[in-house]
Structure 1
Amino acid sequence: MSRDDSPLVDLQCEAHTYPDGTVGMHDVDFSVYRDEVVALVGGNGAGKSTLLEHLNATLVPDDGELVVDGRPITDDTKAHARKEVGFVFQDADTQLVAPTVLDDVMFGLQNYGVPGDQAKVRVREALATVDASHLEDRIPHYLSGGEKRLVGLAGVLVLDPSVVVLDEPLAGLDPERSQLVADRIQQVHEEGISVVLSTHDLEFAAEVADRVCVMADGNVVGSGTPSEVFYDDALLARANLHPPSAVRIARDAGLAATARPVTESDLVALLADAADPDAVASPDARAQD
C-alpha cells in the first residue's frame, strides 16, 4: 500500500490522562490512510478504546494534535472530525436514541439540517449498504446485538465519512452474528471507506486487516502487516497476546519457514500445496496433464 498520500487521520498524542489520574495513552503516533483496514490489538487496559476515541475528538490529547483530512482539530472544528470519522461504540445502546431505526439513523442528518425527504433517502441507502433495510420500522432497543451494531454502523455511514471506527465490533456476538457484522465491515471497506477497529479476536484481525497495530501500556508498541505482526513472538509477548491458530499450526507443522499463513484459508491452501506436488506447477502445466 502506498504511503505517498497524506493520511486521512493523523494523531500525535504525547499524553492523555483521565480525571482520576489514570494514564490512558502516551507517546502515540497513529495515522489512518486511504483504502485500508487497521486493527488495534492488545490486552484489557492497553489503551485501544482511548486511542479510538481520540480519532474523532470524542477525547482530546492533554498534549498533542489531531489532524483530520489535513485540518487541525480544535474546539471549533470538532464537528469536522466527527463527520469525517464515524464512530461505532462497543455498547451499541449508547448510540440508539430514537423510537424507530429509521429515525435513529436519520438523527445525525437532522443535526446537520438535511431536509426530511432527502434525509430519508440517505438513511435508506445507508441501511441497504449494511443489509438492514428490513429493520427500518423496528424499535432499536428490541434488536439483537448484531442488529444494533448494523444500525449503529448505518448511523455513521449516512454522514458519508472518510473513516469508520469500531470499538470491539464483535464483542458479545454469537458466531453467526459475528460473521454478519464482519461481512458488513468488509463491504464498507469495499465501498472505499477506511476502517479502524479494535478487537481481542486475532483470528478476525488476521482476516480483515491490512495493518495490525499492537498496543500495550497505553502506547502502540509495534505495527505491520498481519504476517509480520503475528509471527513476531517478542512483540506479541510484550502485549500478552497469542498468535492466531493458523500461525501456531503452521509452526507445529514446520511450514512457517517457507510461508507465513495467518488465516484458516491461507493455511488450507498451503497444506494443499504441500500434499500435492503438482499444485506448485504453473496453471498452464497443469492444464496439459
Structure 2
Amino acid sequence: MTADHSGERTPLVDLQCEAHTYPDGTVGIHEIDFSVYPNEVVALVGGNGAGKSTLLEHLNATLVPDEGELIVDGTAITEDNKAHARKAVGFVFQDADTQLVAPTVLDDVLFGLQNYGITGEEAERRAREALATVDASHLEDRIPHYLSGGEKRLIGLAGVLVLNPSVVVLDEPLAGLDPERSRLVAKRIRQIHQEGISVVLSTHDLEFAAEIADRVCVMADGNIIESDTPQAVFYDDELLNKANLRPPTAVRIAHDIGVDSTAQPVTEADLVSIFSKT
C-alpha cells in the first residue's frame, strides 16, 4: 500500500499516467499516480528498466502520457503550454552533454533565459547568480564539453536554476562520478532544497537516497509499488526483495547487531547517534 503524506497540501506537480508506450511497443510506465509537494526531496529507486527515467521525463512534459494528465503549479499541461512545465520543473539529465549547447559555460546558462526572452544585463546577472549557487562561478569562461562529469552536472543544474523553477528533477545525478565529485553534487542538491526548491531524483545509490530523501518511491515493472519514508521503505524486506534492492549499509548493520527495531537507523549518522546514547 502506498502511504499518503500529502495532508492538505497542494502539489506542485501532479502526474496521472495510465500508460506510456514507446514507439517500439515497450510500455515504459503504467498506472502512475505521482505528486511532488512543496519543500520535499523525493528519491525514485528501483532496478534497471523499472521506469524511473520514463516517469521523470513526464514531470516536465519531455514525455507525455498515452492516457492521463500532468498538472504543474495548478495548470493542466497541453501541447500548447509545455513551456510552462519546462520552466517550472527544471530537468537535469543523466547525460549532462545533452544539455550543453553553447561555446562557454556562461553562454550555456544564458541559453535558457534567452529562450524565454530574457537578455542583456538582467540575463547575465541571473546566469552568474545561478553559477554562484552551485559554486561554479570560476568555470564561466570554460568550454562545457571539456569539463569533468561532476562539473557538467553542476552546469546543467545552474542551467535550470536560472529559470527559478519550483521543482528540480535529476536523473541519476551521481552516476559515473568519483566520490569527491559525488560529494560536491550531493552538497549542491541539499543546498537548493534548503533554499525552498523541491527535488525529485532517481538513484541506484540507496545510501544517498537514505541520506537525502524525505520520501522514497520504489519502482518495479513500470509502476510505483510503494511511497513512504526512508525508514518505512528500507526496513521492509519483502518490498526490497520484490524490487531487487539491497538495503543501505546502516540498515544491514542494524539487522546484524540487533539494534532495537523501533530505532530504524538508515544512515551512518543515525547509527552513530544510537551508539552515542548507549
TM range, smaller chain: over 0.9
Q: TM-score, normalised by structure 1?
A: 0.94
Deviations along 1:113-171, one digit per CA (max 9) or x if unpaired, are: 11221100000000000000000000000000000000000000000000000000000
- Which residue matches 2:171? 167
Measure how far apart 1:256 and its partner are.
Answer: 3.9
- Which residue matches 1:51? 55
- Which residue matches 1:278? none
The answer to whether the aligner puts 1:226 opposite 2:249 as a matched pair is no
**Contact 2:234 / 2:247 at 8 angstroms: preserved in 1?**
yes
Take 2:55 and 2:16, find their aligned partners in 1: how far apart are those partners?
A: 10
- Which residue matches 2:259? 255
The answer to whether the aligner puts 1:111 opposite 2:111 as a matched pair is no
- Which residue matches 1:133? 137
Take 1:210 and 1:20, find their aligned partners in 2: how far apart are those partners?
A: 36
- Which residue matches 2:87? 83
Q: Following superposition, which runs of at least 4 residues in structure 1 exceed 3 angstroms of deviation? A: none
Take 1:240 and 1:99, find their aligned partners in 2: how far apart are those partners?
A: 42
**One-letter amino acid of the structure 1 residue matched with residue 227 of structure 2:** S
Provide the aligned length of Structure 1 versus Structure 2. Answer: 274
Structure 1, unpaired ranges of 5+: 275-289
Take 2:60 and 2:6, find their aligned partners in 1: how far apart are those partners?
A: 24
State the SS of the aligned residue for 1:67.
strand
- Which residue matches 2:12? 8
Measure how far apart 1:92 and its partner are.
Answer: 0.1
Identical residues among aligned pairs (%): 79
**One-letter amino acid of the structure 2 residue matched with residue 247 of structure 1:** V
Structure with the greater alpha carbon radius of gyration: 1
State the Cα RMSD in Å.
0.8
State the SS of the aligned residue for 2:65.
coil
Q: TM-score, normalised by structure 2?
A: 0.97
Take 1:94 and 1:263, find their aligned partners in 2: how far apart are those partners?
A: 33
**One-letter amino acid of the structure 1 residue matched with residue 261 of structure 2:** A
Q: 1:244 aligns with which of 233, 248, 263?
A: 248
Take 2:133 and 2:123, find their aligned partners in 1: how far apart are those partners?
A: 15
Measure how far apart 1:2 and its partner are.
Answer: 5.7
